[in-house]
């Protein structure tokens, strides 16, 4: 098994930030739920464990048997307090709360090699009474903010690794490569080699079918599958009528012909999709309705030979984490020999990096994410074809003005949402733009840009009576 570090997730933002930081260092990381049992941790054959505590409040203990696996563990933030308690120690109350304090390190400890004393920020630092099996290795404000087990490679630090923190990077690198002896091997090139080999193995001598939506995930899947089986690739696109742009199908067809050397198969399922959406108002029910049509259309296009072929889907790691590790898209595809999700271990930015490495056109690599249900996910209440056309036009206006104003490079995502009719029978359009970064916070667009969007929307789309700008942070697509 290839070297990996497990990240136990008690705080999703902190866990994702650490996992991404490790991967940027070439260290492969995998996130598991904080409550994962011994069996789930043991079967990963990991080199070490990083346990991220909750940003606020107490962190629940992990399965105590995990401490006896012999794996190095680094508990950060409030998880370190819980680790001290699991070892037999206790807390005597807070020493620091939402404060910065200078920290002194025991530089004889390998985990601190190359680090210098300096200020660290603490959400909360407890005055720990350490058990006899543990010793202090870092101190601040007169109390132990770091400790280790005297006999086992168990470490606790009451601060978290901050963003853009060179000392934190040194600490993580020391723990992963020197204490856990994890070999850095993770890269886009390494992933491509593994994924291509696995796809070729699964295909055997049969074709690979790729469900191509036109987005970056499925496009990268198609490129990987093309490397694995060449002309035996069968890309299928379902025309749902819910795509964000009217030219998605045209671009996908050109990509398949010019980049992959194969023909795109298109299934027109627009009537079925709108029929399935009649009377449906719940967002989850809308997604399920579209996905059901999507699945049946893919099977229909694959034909009776599907039972001998493997289907490739573009599920990425970010989607799995957002849905608490449990959601898979492959249910309902029983008509195929098997279903494979080659991107399931990649964060979204890693998918883009793989796309770049594969030589995909920038227009595909930089495409903004949107769910399979497309614009139906951005319409409040029942979805009809006229409403989709209205939203598509409004969304195009927003995109044109953002790109014309040079704002697109600093934004992670931007889109429009169509609300229900108000008392005057007009619709409300909500505009959203998310800033680039680990957290998708709402971006502040120039006021004159927003004014131009409002003027154009109200002039060209009279059914929209109100346009608002949503500043609520969001991770929705």
Nearest to 100 by CA among 70, 120, 76: 120
On whether residue 474 sits in a domain, the answer given is: no
**What's the domain count of the chain?**
3
Q: Are residues 207 and 273 in the same domain?
A: yes
**Is the model's pLDDT at 378 over the cut of 50?**
yes
Which tens digit of pLDDT belongs to each residue from 19-28? Answer: 999 999 999 9
On whether both 352 and 443 belong to a single domain, the answer is no
> Is 11 a domain residue?
yes
pLDDT tens per residue across span 73-106:
999 999 999 999 999 999 998 998 999 999 999 9
Q: Are residues 113 and 222 in the same domain?
A: no
Q: Are 314 and 218 in contact (CB under 8 A)?
A: yes
> What is the per-residue pLDDT for 214?
83
Domain identity same for 95 and 33: yes
Query: Can you tell me the distance from the alpha carbon of 211 to that of 214, in angstroms, rounded to the nearest whole number?
Result: 9
Q: Which of 179, 205, 234 is the last residue in one of the domains?
A: 179
pLDDT at 477: 39
Split at pLDDT 50, 70, 90, the class of 41 is very high
Q: Averaged over 457-473, what is the pLDDT?
A: 92
Give the mean model confidence (pLDDT) for residues 450-456. Answer: 97
Distance CA 139, CA 81 (A): 14
Mean pLDDT of 18-41: 94
72 lies in some domain: yes
Q: Do 399 and 351 reside in the same domain of the chain?
A: no
Task: Supply the pLDDT for residue 12.
Answer: 67
- Residue 325 shares a structural domain with residue 201: yes
Residue 366 has pLDDT above 90, yes or no: no
In a domain, 62, yes or no: yes
The stretch 449-464 carries a mean pLDDT of 96
Last residue of a domain, one of 162, 179, 196: 179
Containing structural domain, residue 168 = 5-179
pLDDT band at 2 (very low <50, low <70, confident <90, very high): low
For residue 255, give the CATH number of its domain: 3.40.50.620
Query: Quick check: is 477 in a domain?
Result: no
Tokens of 122: 């603490």
Q: Is residue 206 predicted with pLDDT exceeding 70?
A: yes
Helix (H, G, I), strand (E, B) or coil at 142: coil
**pLDDT at residue 278, as a whole number:** 96
The answer to whether residue 475 scores a pLDDT higher than 50 is: no
Residue 371 lies in a domain: no
Q: What pLDDT does residue 109 have? A: 96
Q: Determine what percent of the chain is predicted with pLDDT higher than 70.
A: 95
The 10s digit of each residue's pLDDT in 265-292 is 999 999 999 999 999 999 999 999 999 9
Give me the helices (H) in 93-175, please. 166-173
Whether residue 302 is contained in a domain is answered as yes
pLDDT recorded at residue 266: 95
Same domain, 24 and 122: yes
Residue 1 pLDDT greater than 50, yes or no: no
129 and 265 housed in the same domain = no
Same domain? 319 vs 396: no
Q: What is the dihedral of CA 193, 194, 196, 201, to 10 degrees?
A: 140
Same domain membership, residue 277 and residue 151:
no
378 lies in a domain? no
Beta-carbon count within 10 A of 335 CB: 17
Domain boundary among 116, 148, 179: 179
pLDDT over 90 (residue 221) = yes
Averaged confidence pLDDT in the chain:
91
Query: Which H helix or E strand runs over 91?
Result: strand 90-105
- Which CATH number fits the domain that encloses residue 108? 3.40.50.880
pLDDT tens for each residue of 405-421:
999 888 888 999 999 88
CATH number reported for the structural domain that contains residue 444 in this entry:
3.30.300.10
Same domain, 159 and 12: yes
pTM: 0.87
**329 and 401: one domain?**
no
For residue 186, give both structure tokens: 């993770």
What is the C-alpha to C-alpha distance for residues 142 and 19, in angstroms, rounded to an integer? 31
- Measured in residues, the chain has a length of 477
Q: H or E segment at 320?
A: helix 317-322
Torsion over CA of 70, 72, 76 and 81, rounded to 10 degrees?
30
- Whether the per-residue pLDDT at 349 is higher than 70: the answer is yes
pLDDT at 362: 87
């Amino acid at each position: 098994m290839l070297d990996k570090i497990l990240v136990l997730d008690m705080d999703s933002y902190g866990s994702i930030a650490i996992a991404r930081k490790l991967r940027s260092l070439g260290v492969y990381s995998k996130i598991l739920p904080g409550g994962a049992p011994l069996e789930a941790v043991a079967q990963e054959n990991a080199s070490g464990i990083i346990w991220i505590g909750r940003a606020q409040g107490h962190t629940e203990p992990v399965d105590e048997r995990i401490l006896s696996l012999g794996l190095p563990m680094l508990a950060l933030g409030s998880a370190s307090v819980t680790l001290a308690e699991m070892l037999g120690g206790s807390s005597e109350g807070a020493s620091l709360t939402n404060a910065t304090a200078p920290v002194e390190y025991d530089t004889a400890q390998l985990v601190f090699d190359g680090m210098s004393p300096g200020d660290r920020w603490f959400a909360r630092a407890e005055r720990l009474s350490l058990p006899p099996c543990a010793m202090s290795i870092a101190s601040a404000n007169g109390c132990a903010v770091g400790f280790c087990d005297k006999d086992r490679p168990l470490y606790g630090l009451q601060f978290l690794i901050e963003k853009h923190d060179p000392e934190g990077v040194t600490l993580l690198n020391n723990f992963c490569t020197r204490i856990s002896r994890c070999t850095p091997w993770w890269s886009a090139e390494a992933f491509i080699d593994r994924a291509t080999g696995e796809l070729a193995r699964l295909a055997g001598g049969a074709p690979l079918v790729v469900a191509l939506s036109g987005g970056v995930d499925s496009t990268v899947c198609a490129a990987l599958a093309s490397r694995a089986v060449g002309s035996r690739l069968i890309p299928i696109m379902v025309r749902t009528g819910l795509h964000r742009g009217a030219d998605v199908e045209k671009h996908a067809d050109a990509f398949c012909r010019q980049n992959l050397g194969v023909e795109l198969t298109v299934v027109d399922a627009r009537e079925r999709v709108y029929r399935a959406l009649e009377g449906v108002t719940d967002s989850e029910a809308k997604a399920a309705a579209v996905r059901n049509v999507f699945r049946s259309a893919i099977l229909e296009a694959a034909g009776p030979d599907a039972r001998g072929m493997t289907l490739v889907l573009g599920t990425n790691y970010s989607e799995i984490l957002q849905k608490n590790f449990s959601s898979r898209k492959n249910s309902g595809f029983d008509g195929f020999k098997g279903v494979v999700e080659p991107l399931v271990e990649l964060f979204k930015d890693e998918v883009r990096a793989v796309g770049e490495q594969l030589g995909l056109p920038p227009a595909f690599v930089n495409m903004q994410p949107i769910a399979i249900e497309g614009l139906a996910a951005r319409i409040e209440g029942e979805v009809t074809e006229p409403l989709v056309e209205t939203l598509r036009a409004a969304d195009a206006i927003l995109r044109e003005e953002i790109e014309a104003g040079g704002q697109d490079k600093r934004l992670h995502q931007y889109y429009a949402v169509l609300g229900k009719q108000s008392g005057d029978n007009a619709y409300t359009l909500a505009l959203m733009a998310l800033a680039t970064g680990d957290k998708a916070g709402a971006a502040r667009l120039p006021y004159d840009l927003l004014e131009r969007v409002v003027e154009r929307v109200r002039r060209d789309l009279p059914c929209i009576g109100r346009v608002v700008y949503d500043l609520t942070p969001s991770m929705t697509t």
